[in-house]
Structure 1
Amino acid sequence: MSESRGQRRVGIVGYGHLGQYLVRRLRMDGLQHGLELAFVWNRDASKLEGSVPAELWLGKLADFSERHADIIVEVAHPCIAQDHGEAFLKAADFMVGSPTALADVGTELKLREAARQSGHTLYIPSGALWGGQDIQRLDDGGMLQALTVTMVKHPDSFRLGGHLGELVQAARKERKVLYDGPVRKLCPLAPNNVNTMAAACMAAPSLGFDGVKGRLVADPDLSDYHVVEIEATGPSGFSVSSKRKNPAACGAVTGAATFAAFWSSLLVCQGHGGRVYLC
């Protein structure tokens, strides 16, 4: 079915834990929400065997347009948005599940322009970001002066590159701050761990990836959940702070509540035009 007959066709790019969850929800509950699965792509196609019907497999990502998806959802790796995001937006709406990709200035500008020219929407899922729409409203009104996002996880839940990978080893005995600074510099070192921070940067474009501050903390005692703390400040002493505990198994990169948040985000992805939209 096409969108004109009442169904939005959804392409899923990536079949890790989050991709599997979204595919399962689409196959079980999609039709009642006006959604149907158009295709599933995974770098290792063998992982689709036994759980995804063969007719839904997409062999080559470059052939995505043949499946006529209305929205494409990336839940794989930041390189997908960098390499294919512009092409996706020319044909469909695009939800970036790895918004750390947008820390690259060229990628962000390219995708913003592609959305504007095509009339399709570049969707940024809130994920574990609590109060994202409130941050966006503050920013839109010129009231947001500073924004800090602190993420605390067990050392085993981090997938880090460079010197941060070495620092996290030292955090197995005691709580340690791994990073404290602009989010832009952190994203390439922790592309799978700081998508919440990247979403905050997109919600606050006046600050952006250079102005939003990120703090990454490893805590060996945090074995059952992840913590995300948000602090937003404005003029005349205005401030808002929040603390979110997201249940997560030790070693899990993504907390359990984030899966349902992605599904909720997908349900609102329609009718927002050629712009960036936090969902």
Structure 2
Amino acid sequence: MGKRRIGIVGYGHLGQYLVTQIESRDDVELAFVWNRTRSAVEGKVRDDLILDDLDKFTERSADLIVEVAHPCITRDFGDRFLTHADYMIGSPTAMADPDTERKLRSATNQHGLYVPSGALWGGEDIRKMADRGTLQALKVTMRKPPQSFKLNEPLRSKNEMVKDETVVLYDGPVRELCPLAPNNVNTMAAAAVAAHNLGFDKVSGCIVADPSLTDWHIVQVDVWGPGNIADDTAFHCQTVRRNPAKIGAVTGSATYASFLSSMIAACGKGPGVHLC
């Protein structure tokens, strides 16, 4: 069996990391690298591996296409990628758009759509509970310093007003949060995909600007299962992940290795939507 050919869409910090890792491995090889600005790739990737026109991705015969660019890539190309290859969506916030989610799911009849778990601890357990119908509620809370949030209005202005006190910027359905913080809440989008019996409308997301966090991003996942939530007799599992991160970093450093592991695992599951 030959090496799996992987196409990378996006050449920011994560894209550069993945390209370096692919080139150092014996089990995979680069099919192409695309970036909106070609000059950012020139001199760092062999010319024959640079794809100038993403519409021509089929010419490179990738087995897996990995998006690490922007949610608009999935909106515009996701279903087309899936007609030719497996697709790993690095910005699953794109699936908060109902039309995009519908198109992606309907396009997975030949290839797999892979959603990386990222900072979501226990994603497979959440999915299993959703499969059994025992998952009652799910909430993901992210605490970061204000400089690490990349937000759209009205949350941007609210975050800019944060000084010394901790401020809850948003607390509500993940579907409404995703377009307001598309670069920050991919973990929440992955949770909504795992919790498929709840989906983006019923999974809750909370983002908190905490100026005291100078070295960490904190992700808390609360899961409720069988029992009565109202009188606190339901099954409840809470995990808290402290992800090392510098001030201003959108993504914690541990997420890079996690994403690489997800990319390597994104194969062999066939058609459908899969956590990896």
Query: Which interval holds the TM-score relative to the shorter structure?
Result: over 0.9
SS in 2 for 1:230: strand
**Is residue 37 of structure 2 the alignment partner of residue 28 of structure 1?**
no
**In 2, distance between residues paired with 1:37 and 1:61?**
15
5 Å-filtered alignment, 1:34-53, equals: 34-53=27-46
Instruction: Note the residue ranges of structure 2 that are not aligned, 5 or more in a row.
Output: 228-233
When the two structures are superposed, what TM-score results if normalisation uses the length of structure 1? 0.95
Q: What is the aligned partner in structure 2 of residue 233 from structure 1?
A: 224
The one-letter amino acid of 2:198's match is: L
Tell me the equivalent position of 2:50: 57
Paired residues for 1:1-279 under 5 Å: 5-29=1-25, 31=26, 34-116=27-109, 119-236=110-227, 237-279=234-276
AA aligned opposite 1:241:
Q
Distance 2:53 2:215 in 1: 38
Assess if the C-alpha contact under 8 Å between 1:225 and 1:247 holds in 2. Answer: yes
Greater shift in the superposed pair: 165-174 or 82-91: 165-174
For 1:164 and 1:61, locate their aligned partners in 2 and report how far apart those are by CA, in whole Å: 32
* 1:35-92 residue CA offsets vs partner (Å, 9 max, x unmatched): 1110000001101122111111000010100000000000000000000001100000
Q: CA deviation at 1:172?
A: 2.7
Rounded to whole Å, the distance in 2 between the matches of 1:171 and 1:240 is 31
- Structure with greater proportional helix content: 1
- Cα distance in 1 between the residues matched to 2:44 and 2:145: 31
- Which amino acid counterpart does residue 20 of structure 2 have in structure 1? R
What percentage of aligned pairs have identical amino acids? 58
Please tell me the root mean square deviation across aligned C-alpha atoms, in Å: 0.7
Distance 2:28 2:168 in 1: 42
**Equivalent pair of 1:150/1:214 in contact (CA under 8 Å):** yes
Contact 1:172 1:219 in 2 (8 A): no
Deviation, 1:200, is 0.1
Q: Is the 8 A contact 1:231 1:242 kept in 2?
A: yes
Tell me by how many angstroms 1:145 deviates: 0.0
AA in 1 matched with 2:121 = W
CA distance in 1, matches of 2:121, 2:264: 18
Structure 2: distance between partners of 1:194 and 1:163? 16
